Chain A
Amino acid sequence: MSINEIQDSIIEDFSMYEDWADKYEFIIELGKELPAMNELYKIEENLIKGCQSRVWLHAHEEEGVLKFQADSDAIITKGIIGLLIKVFSGHTAQEIANTDIYFLKEIGLQEHLSPTRANGLVSMVKQIKNYAIAFNLKS
Chain B
Amino acid sequence: MGAITTGLNVQAIREDFPILKTLVHNKPLVYFDNAASTQKPKIVLDTEYHYYSSQYANIHRGVHYLSQIGTELYEKTRHIVKDFIGANSEREIIFTKGTTNSINLLAYSWSSAFLKPGDEILITGMEHHSNIVPWQLACQRHGATLKVVPLQEDGSINIDEVKNMISEKTRLFSFTYVSNALGTINPVKEMTAIAHQAGAHVLIDAAQAIQHIAINVQELNCDFLAFSGHKIYGPTGTGILYGKEALLDAMPPFEGGGDMIKDVKFEQTSFNELPFKFEAGTPNIAGTIALGTAIEYVEKIGLDNIFAYEEELLKYGTEQLQQINGLTIYGNSIHKSSVLSFLLDGAHPYDVGVILDHLGIAIRTGHHCTQPIMDYFCIPGTCRASIAFYNTKEEIDLLVTGIQRASKMLL
Contact = CB atoms under 8 A, between A and B. Distances in A.
Contacts of A73: 348, 380
A114 B83 CA distance: 44
Interface in A20-48: 20-21, 24-25, 28
A74 B409 contact: no
B25 interface: yes
Contact of A119 (B25, B347, B350, B380): B350
A16 interface: no
B358 A74 contact: no
Interface string B347-360: 11111001100100
Interface of A: 20-21, 24-25, 28, 51-54, 73-77, 118-119
Interface of B: 25, 347-351, 354-355, 358, 365-366, 380-381, 409-410
A51 B358 contact: no
A75 B355 contact: no
A74 B350 contact: yes
Contacts of B25: 20
B358 A75 contact: no
B358 to A, nearest CB: 5
B350 A76 contact: yes
A20 B358 contact: yes
Contacts of A118: 366
Given A25-B409, A28-B409, A28-B410, A52 B350 contact: yes
A21 B358 contact: yes
A53 B355 contact: no
A76 B381 contact: no
Contacts, number: 39
A52 B354 contact: no
21 contacts: A20-B358, A21-B409, A24-B354, A24-B355, A24-B358, A25-B409, A28-B409, A51-B366, A52-B350, A52-B366, A54-B380, A74-B348, A74-B351, A75-B347, A75-B348, A75-B351, A75-B410, A77-B348, A77-B350, A77-B351, A118-B366
B355 A52 contact: no
A25 B355 CA distance: 10
A116 to B, nearest CB: 13
Nearest 6 Cβ contacts at the A-B interface: A74-B348, A74-B350, A52-B350, A53-B350, A52-B366, A76-B351
- Max chain A CB contacts within 10 Å: which of B349, B351, B365? B351
Nearest to A77: B350
Contacts of A119: 350
A52 B409 contact: no
Contacts of B347: 75
A82 to B, nearest CB: 14
A59 to B, nearest CB: 24
A86 to B, nearest CB: 20
Contacts of B350: 52-53, 74, 76-77, 119
**Max count, chain A CB within 10 A of own CB: residue among B354, B380, B381, B410:** B354
A28 B409 CA distance: 8
Contacts of B351: 28, 74-77
Nearest to B366: A52
A107 B93 CA distance: 52
B365 A52 contact: yes
Given A25-B409, A28-B409, A28-B410, A53 B348 contact: yes
Given A52-B350, A76-B351, A119-B350, 7 more contacts: A24-B409, A28-B410, A52-B365, A52-B366, A53-B350, A75-B351, A75-B410
